[in-house]
């Protein structure tokens, strides 16, 4: 599958990412409107749910743009930052470290149980306790390692999803997307 086509749609992807990043503001603006407020508010919540997938799309587009050098460096960084903001928003509420720890511990214990079964007693200790130890040691190691990574990602997610930051990021994404459609660039306009 040729992903280079994503670079051609980078302006639209940026605009979509920007709209999703500021969907909380759009929801607050349209909610008080009598007739369209409630349906539009529900629509904004649905759009916000797609933020995770749009975040993945932004990061994939950034990776393709980086490898093909099709867009400028500022747009590549904007794609990455906006993608991380949308991707990390729902991820910060899920216990990833516990999931990875349980998975690795379970796989280690299952591997030993299936391919290297222990006798009933190992050095006077029941094999059940040895299997439990084979589960706990890698599970704790992976949990501690991933808990640190999870906390760092939560911190980055909290910063990027802080409402003033997401507002600025969303508006910059929308502006850069519109300017790219007009064959202009926000970063060259600001810094040159």
Q: How confident is the model at residue 88, as a pLDDT? A: 83
Closest to 55 measured CA to CA, from 18, 1, 92, 96: 18
Tens digit of pLDDT for each residue in 64-123? Answer: 999 888 888 888 999 999 998 888 887 767 788 888 999 999 999 999 888 877 778 777
Residue 27 has pLDDT above 80, yes or no: no
What average pLDDT does the segment 26-55 reach? 76
Q: How confident is the model at residue 144, as a pLDDT? A: 93
**Least confident window among 1-5, 65-69, 128-132:** 1-5
Mean pLDDT of the chain: 85
Domain layout of the chain by residue ranges: 1-92+161-192, 94-155
Closest to 23 measured CA to CA, from 44, 40, 38, 46: 44
Tell me the C-alpha distance between 64 and 95, whole Å: 30
In angstroms, how far is the first alpha carbon of the chain from the final one?
Answer: 38
Q: How confident is the model at residue 143, as a pLDDT? A: 93
**Least confident window among 30-39, 58-67, 146-155:** 30-39
Residue 1 has pLDDT above 70, yes or no: no
Give the pLDDT band (50/70/90) at residue 192. Answer: low
Residue 37 has pLDDT above 70, yes or no: no
SS (H, E, C) the chain: CCCCHHHHCHHHHHHHHHHHHCHHHHHHHHCCCCCCHHHHHHHHHHHHHCHHHHHHHHHHHHHHHHHHCCCCHHHHHHHHHHHHHHHHHHHCCCCHHHHHHHHHHHHHHHHHHHHCCCCCEECCEEHHHHHHHHHHHHHHHHHHHHHHHHHHHHHHHHHHCCHHHHHHHHHHHHHHHHHHHCCCCHHHHHHC
Tell me the C-alpha distance between 40 and 6, whole Å: 29
CB of 98 within 8 A of CB of 139? no
Q: How confident is the model at residue 103, as a pLDDT? A: 92
């Amino acid at each position: 599958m040729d992903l280079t086509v994503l670079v051609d749609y980078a302006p639209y992807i940026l605009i979509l990412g920007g709209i999703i990043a500021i969907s909380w503001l759009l929801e607050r603006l349209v909610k008080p409107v009598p007739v369209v407020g409630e349906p539009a508010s529900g629509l904004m919540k649905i759009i916000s749910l797609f933020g995770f997938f749009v975040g993945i799309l932004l990061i994939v587009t950034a990776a393709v743009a980086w490898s093909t050098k099709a867009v400028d460096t500022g747009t590549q960084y904007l794609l990455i930052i906006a993608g991380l903001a949308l991707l990390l928003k729902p991820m910060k509420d899920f216990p990833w470290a516990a999931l990875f720890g349980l998975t690795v511990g379970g796989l280690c214990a299952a591997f030993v149980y299936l391919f290297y079964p222990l006798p009933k007693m190992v050095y006077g200790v029941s094999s059940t306790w040895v299997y439990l130890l084979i589960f706990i040691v890698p599970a704790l190691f992976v949990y501690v390692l991933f808990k640190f990574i999870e906390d760092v990602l939560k911190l980055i997610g909290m910063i990027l999803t802080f409402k003033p930051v997401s507002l600025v990021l969303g508006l910059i994404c929308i502006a850069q997307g519109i300017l790219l459609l007009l064959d202009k660039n926000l970063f060259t306009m600001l810094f040159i």
